[in-house]
Amino acid sequence: MDRPRQLNRRSVLGLGAAAAAAMVTPGCSRGRSDEPAPAGPAKFATGNAGGVYNVYGAGLAKLVSEVTGVAMTPLPTEGSVQNLKMLAVGNADVGFSLSDSALDAWEGAPGTQFASGALRFSALARVYDNYVHVVVPTGSDIDQLKDLKDRDVSIGPKNSGTRVVAERILGTAGIKVKPHHYGLETAVQALRDRMKDPKKGVDALIWSGGLPTKPIQELQSLGFRLVDIGGAAQKLANQRFGGYVLSSIPPSVYSLSASVPTLSIPNYLLARRGLSDSWAWWTLNTMFRRQTDLMAIHPEAGSLDARSAIATMPIPLHPAAERWYKNNHI
């Protein structure tokens, strides 16, 4: 579903066949070396404690601070929806968001938390894809999405992208649950509690995150399964344009017996309206030039690819980001 965005962006930037094959090599020195340092500090809206946004964002903020000599502070948040609102009012300078939430905010989509009016911001890059995890204990009687009906389910914090996609998946499947708006670590603990006492915690948790999501990975010692949501994912991908793609979580990620069909959603690194060229340029440049260092912080950094990073339509690239890609022949 995201292919039209990629083609549109590339046509805007005049990408040719030869340029499409060009790669930005981590650690290389291509690009402007005379870009001025930022004039003052910046704030990075990341995500839930333990989640990939939080880990990746904190790591990138640290590297950008080291490279520029100017502080970029990572801010823990509930996730995409809160990040978008923070960017809109200037409480954050850069931040992560799922593409569907970003599109809702950009359009002021009815029936969403952005229905009161469209928000404006720009994009630095498409960074990696999230995968929807529907997690249940190994011994649970929940085998299909429909089995979640009337069960206690954590669907993510109120201002998270996880909540947005969880509600859409459940709505597409016609399922009503007893929702709990837990952050990632709280949700994982609630599932642990249910494993020990059937009267405590939650029956399942839904989480949209990169691979692997460490707190979920740490449940392996107690045993868990991922529920196949391929049917609902396909319907949602067909019904909505938000970057939704029918995908699967490979068995190697969580030592599963087989791959599990699910929904994947692109993540964007966004910038507030009016962010200085220097902050936009140095953030993007550091993300690519220090990619190897970022991969040591979280493996999802390895998903960053300059050829797909420009695929953020209809969210426009920040002018400094567009210049960076052009200068690097992307």
Q: How far is CA 142 from CA 122, 129, 217, in A?
A: 41, 26, 19
Cα Rg of the chain (Å, integer): 20
Q: Are 157 and 182 in contact (CB under 8 A)?
A: yes
8 A C-beta contact, residue 315 and residue 106: yes
Q: From first to last of its 330 residues, what are the pLDDT tens digits of the chain?
A: 333 333 344 333 333 333 333 445 444 433 445 799 999 999 999 999 999 999 999 999 999 999 999 999 999 999 999 999 999 999 999 999 999 999 999 999 999 999 999 999 999 999 999 999 999 999 999 999 999 999 999 999 999 999 999 999 999 999 999 999 999 999 999 999 999 999 999 999 999 999 999 999 999 999 999 999 999 999 999 988 789 999 999 999 999 999 999 999 999 999 999 999 999 999 999 999 999 999 999 999 999 999 999 999 999 999 999 999 999 998
DSSP code at position 193: H
Cα distance between residue 203 and residue 154, in whole Å: 8
Domain ranges of the chain: 3-129+269-327, 130-266
Of 104, 98, 106, the closest CA to residue 128 belongs to: 98
DSSP string, 201-221: S-SEEEEEE-SS-HHHHGGGG
Which listed CATH number (3.90.1150.10, 3.40.190.10, 3.50.50.60, 3.40.50.1820) goes with 3-129+269-327?
Answer: 3.40.190.10
* CATH number listed for the domain at residues 130-266: 3.40.190.10
Question: Which one, of 277, 325, 295, 316, lies nearest residue 102 by Cα?
Answer: 316
Answering whether pTM is above 0.85, one says yes
Give the span between the Cα atoms of 10 and 12, in whole angstroms: 5
User: Does 130-266 match 3-129+269-327 at the fold level?
Assistant: yes
Q: Which residues of 190-226 are buried (b: 16+ CB within 10 A; e: fewer)?
A: bbbebbeeeeebbbbbbbbbbbbbbbbeebeeeebbb
Q: How many helices (H) and strands (E) does the chain have?
A: 14, 10
> Which residue, among 94, 77, 103, 256, has the nearest Cα to 160 in the 3D structure?
77
Q: How far apart are CA 118 and CA 132, in angstroms?
A: 26
